[in-house]
Structure 1
Amino acid sequence: MKKSLLLALLVLLAPACRLAVAQKVQVQAVTEATPYTFLRNGKVAGPATEIVEMSLERAGLSDWRISLYPWARALDLARNEPNVLIFLIARTPQRESQFKWVGEFMKMEYHLYRLKDRREVTVGRLEDARNFSVGVTRDDLRHQYLQGKGFTKIVVSAHNIDNFRKLLAGQIQLIPLPENDLLDLCAETRTDCARIERVLTLDELSASLYMAYGLKTSDELVERTRVGFLKVKADGTVGRLMRLRP
């Protein structure tokens, strides 16, 4: 009789125990500095950051921290450490099996830009761009894409702002960016965007930006976060915030 009562009690308490364990999990959310994720008064802020915070809250998680890193470091953490949530990561066929995908923030379209007065940098198709130096962020989608297309004149930096300054200084000839990122880089460097000209849209590179965990994270935590994200997306918050200009 006592054993039966004990067994029944354990069955009743099991969901609460699992919830308590899940709530004790510490999530480390990581990304790079972008127009949607940036430091404000020493704290990571921005529209995408707000979405991550709300998703974790609605997942019933209370212990997390959000950090900005160079993109290569953020990728390394997500791939090799459990409970690391990387966000604003492009979902590509090459990455599909490397992560557990949580939810989509937005679709992103990339373009190649040059300085307007660099008329010798003539690009009518992707093959033409191989003749010129291109600045990319280490290990991000653009870096991997151009390498895969046989580009050899790739100049790698830790941050987009470094590449943009190299373009302005004439140290590189092309830079692949979404239009929103270009506008923000112009504002940050006090550059007249009329000096920059789009020469080619990288149709194959267009991709959706997601939040995702690495393979070492439990399926339970992934699903809890996915449910939290879907609650945020269902009421239109994700779309509204990602349309905001910082």
Structure 2
Amino acid sequence: MAAPLNASGVRSALVRAYCMIEASPKRGRKRSERRWWRHAVAVAALCATGMAEAQTSRTIRVAGEEWPPFLARSLPDDGLTGSQLRAVLDRLGYTASIDYYPWRRAMELGMHDPRYAGFMPVLRTPEREKFCHFSTTLGRTSYVLAYLRERPVRARSLADLRDTRIGTVSGYSYSADFDTMAATRALDVEEAVNDETNLRKLLFRRFPVIVIDSQVLRFLLAKDAFTQADRERIATSDGLFAERTMHLCFRRTTVGQVQQQAFDNAAREVDLNRLEKEYWRRIGVGG
């Protein structure tokens, strides 16, 4: 005989059944567009928690890493990407709650913890397509090589870096070619927990070059933790990395797909490019 369900078990079973029906795209499209967007996120929030009480929640929870100026507790609206996330969710009548972790931990929670809708900001890669429903673009990144002026590094191609130790961040994607060469050890990389750690290691000559987003580098060097002498020692070289778009990775589940579709539909009503330019001016960083 099957074990009887307690009240919590009955509630969970009903929620699962409700989710299977309500997450259907065909069912959702019978509603007006705006009602469907709101309904889709509400269903997603309910299903993600597995609790009927979540139906009244107006908060979408995501995991992320401190990556100023794109995502940071200390910045207005949690950084550029945070501000864009909030602007889109506001169209749906929702607010965002961002929890901060080291990058690999943020990815793990965003992919597998049902408390989270996903994680951000993330670059699209074929590997990540396996576990993400990617949102529309939420900012752009431009990676550069950063090195010391007293120890210049010249590279016209990634192949020119084969004999050079390179500082990177664990779990980051830089480009398809760079990622492949690093994975196959055609490039000698040393991984750190974040960009600020790499920048300090560079200044201490732990390695001759690091890969870092140009805006992140500019923002870090402007902090009081770095001196004017530190800033004057750093030089950069661009051209090896193409500009890439950043996204919110929704969990690759039926619920995640519903959330991503609702989010992207709402994003069409928000001028994200204008918001980005205004945000850079707002915090005094050139876009």
Give the TM-score of the pair, scaled to structure 2: 0.68
Counterpart for residue 94 of structure 1: 127
Alignment-derived partner of residue 226 in structure 2:
190
Amino acid at match of 1:81: D
Distance 1:92 1:179, change over 3 A: same
Query: Structure 1: any 5+ residue segments left out of the alignment?
Result: 1-13
Note the C-alpha offset of 1:239: 4.6
**Number of residue-to-residue matches in the alignment:** 230
Alignment partner of 1:69 is 2:101: yes
* Partner of residue 19, structure 2: none
The verdict on how the C-alpha distance between 1:75 and 1:143 changes in structure 2, with shifts beyond 3 A counting, is farther
* Residue in structure 1 matched with residue 136 of structure 2 by the alignment: 103
- Counterpart amino acid of residue 173 in structure 2: L
Measured after TM superposition, the shift of residue 186 of structure 1 is: 1.2
Point out which structure has higher relative CO (alpha carbons under 8 A, 6+ apart).
1
Superposition misfits of 4+ residues, deviation over 4 angstroms = 20-23
Which amino acid in the other structure matches residue 103 of structure 1?
Answer: T
2:216 maps to amino acid: D
Residue 28 of structure 1 deviates from its aligned partner by 1.7
**More displaced, 122-131 or 236-245?**
236-245
User: In structure 1, what is the equivalent of residue 258 of structure 2?
Assistant: 220
Q: Which amino acid in 2 is paired with 1:219?
A: Q
Paired residue for 1:8? Answer: none
Cα distance in 2 for partners of 1:79, 1:145 equals 25
Which of the residues 82, 91, 101 maps onto 1:49? 82
Query: Between the two proteins, what is the percent identity of the paired residues?
Result: 21
Shift of the 154–59 alpha-carbon distance from structure 1 to 2, 3 Å rule, reads: same
Cα RMSD, aligned residues only: 3.2
Aligned to 2:145: 112
Alignment CA distance shift 1:31-1:171 (3 Å)? same
> Contact (CA 8 Å) 1:35, 1:46: kept in 2 or not?
yes
Q: Which one-letter code corresponds to 2:243 in the other structure?
A: S
Partner SS, residue 174 of structure 2 = helix
Check whether the contact 2:250–2:256 (CA below 8 A) recurs between aligned residues. no
Per-residue deviation at 1:213? 0.4
Structure 2 portions without partners, runs of 5+: 1-29, 46-54
Shift of 1:170: 0.5
2:175 matches 1:139: no
> Residue 71 of structure 2 is aligned with which of 7, 24, 37?
37
**Hey, what's the Cα distance between the residues in 2 that align with 1:29 and 1:148?**
29
